[in-house]
């Protein structure tokens, strides 16, 4: 579905994508990850043919550079920031369905299934729609076009938790033949949608595998935070360090320690045996950022 060969993109002196090779097959759900500035959006823009690039790039057999329009006819795009259009909701739908040569009924039925009845919202100005509604409209436009590929560039970045859940649910219901390439910063989004992860770093692919593989590589470590009385905090810290637990962290009133998920209770028992009262404790699972930093060898927090 997507074939990328030797893709290179520079902005002035900055090399953003460095001879990138990539292949995504039909029906795959791929998450594109990377730290800020890793080149995720640049790769998306190259795939869309929006910016010039070196190397080869094809979508569903259509060369993006030579047959950009044909390539774009085979994909639906949902950007990070929902664009604003003049005119009403109905006018926007009419414009884009005519532009794509799609039956309005196909988009309207998608809108209905996403909880956006055209009859109810048709006359509303586009500017009056919330970000979540607009993202759903864009998804409906993409799905209504019955395209084999969806390109989603951090589509939930500006949505509130409820809108994000609804958007992800809609994505999960997409036909299994549809290929999805999702750029995201949110691990929840990635877990909900993707079965393959691509981590971009330094303009190249630093990791290519499943979510489980990434977790295996990073390990099962979590951060256990314990809150102890001020007068015993130093003793608690020294004791935890004597247990050779990595990365003892201090966060004001709490002490954090990196342990395996299954070993959390052991730490609490150790503290209790030393007569160190624990007032409170909680676990912090590593964020996507932590996982990325770990897999990219950028060091741990300290």
Give the footprint of other proteins on this chain (CB under 8 A): 45, 48, 50-52, 68-70, 72-73, 75, 77, 79, 81-87, 95-96, 98-100, 138, 151
User: Is the CB of 81 or the CB of 215 nearer to other proteins?
Assistant: 81
Alpha-carbon distances, residue 90 vs 24, 96, 135 (angstroms): 35, 10, 15
User: Is the CB of 98 or the CB of 261 nearer to other proteins?
Assistant: 98
In angstroms and rounded to an integer, the radius of gyration of the C-alpha atoms of the chain is: 24
Distance from C-alpha of 32 to C-alpha of 288, rounded to nearest angstrom: 12
User: Is the CB of 10 or the CB of 84 nearer to other proteins?
Assistant: 84
User: Is the CB of 38 or the CB of 151 nearer to other proteins?
Assistant: 151
Min CB(192)–other proteins separation in Å: 23
Min CB(114)–other proteins separation in Å: 18
Largest CA distance in the chain: 73
User: Is the CB of 75 or the CB of 133 nearer to other proteins?
Assistant: 75
Min CB(71)–other proteins separation in Å: 8
Min CB(78)–other proteins separation in Å: 9
Distance from C-alpha of 24 to C-alpha of 214, rounded to nearest angstrom: 18
Min CB(100)–other proteins separation in Å: 6
Min CB(54)–other proteins separation in Å: 15
């Amino acid at each position: 579905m997507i074939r990328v060969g030797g893709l290179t993109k520079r902005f002035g002196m900055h090399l953003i994508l460095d001879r990138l090779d990539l292949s995504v097959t039909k029906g795959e759900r791929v998450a594109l990850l990377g730290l800020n500035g890793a080149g995720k959006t640049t790769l998306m823009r190259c795939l869309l043919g929006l910016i010039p690039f070196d190397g080869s790039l094809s979508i569903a057999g259509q060369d993006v550079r030579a047959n950009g329009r044909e390539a774009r006819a085979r994909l639906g795009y949902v950007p990070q920031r929902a664009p604003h259009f003049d005119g009403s909701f109905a006018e926007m739908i009419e414009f884009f369905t005519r532009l794509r040569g799609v039956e309005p009924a196909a988009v309207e039925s998608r809108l209905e299934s996403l909880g956006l009845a055209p009859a109810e919202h048709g006359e509303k100005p586009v500017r009056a729609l919330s970000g979540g509604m607009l993202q759903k409209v864009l998804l409906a436009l993409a799905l209504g076009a019955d395209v084999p590929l969806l390109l989603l560039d951090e589509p939930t970045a500006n949505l509130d938790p409820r809108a994000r859940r609804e958007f992800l649910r809609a994505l999960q219901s997409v036909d299994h033949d549809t290929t999805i390439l999702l750029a995201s910063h949110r691990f929840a989004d990635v877990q909900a949608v993707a079965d393959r992860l691509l981590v971009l770093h330094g303009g190249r692919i630093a990791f290519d595998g499943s979510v489980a593989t990434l977790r295996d590589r990073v390990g099962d470590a979590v951060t256990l935070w314990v809150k102890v009385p001020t007068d015993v905090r130093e003793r608690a810290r020294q004791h935890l360090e004597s247990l050779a637990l990595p990365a003892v962290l201090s966060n004001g009133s709490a002490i954090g320690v990196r342990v395996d998920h299954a070993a959390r209770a052991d730490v609490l028992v150790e503290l209790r045996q030393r007569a160190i009262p624990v007032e409170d404790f909680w676990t912090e699972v590593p964020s996507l950022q932590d996982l990325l930093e770990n897999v990219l060898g950028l060091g741990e927090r300290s």
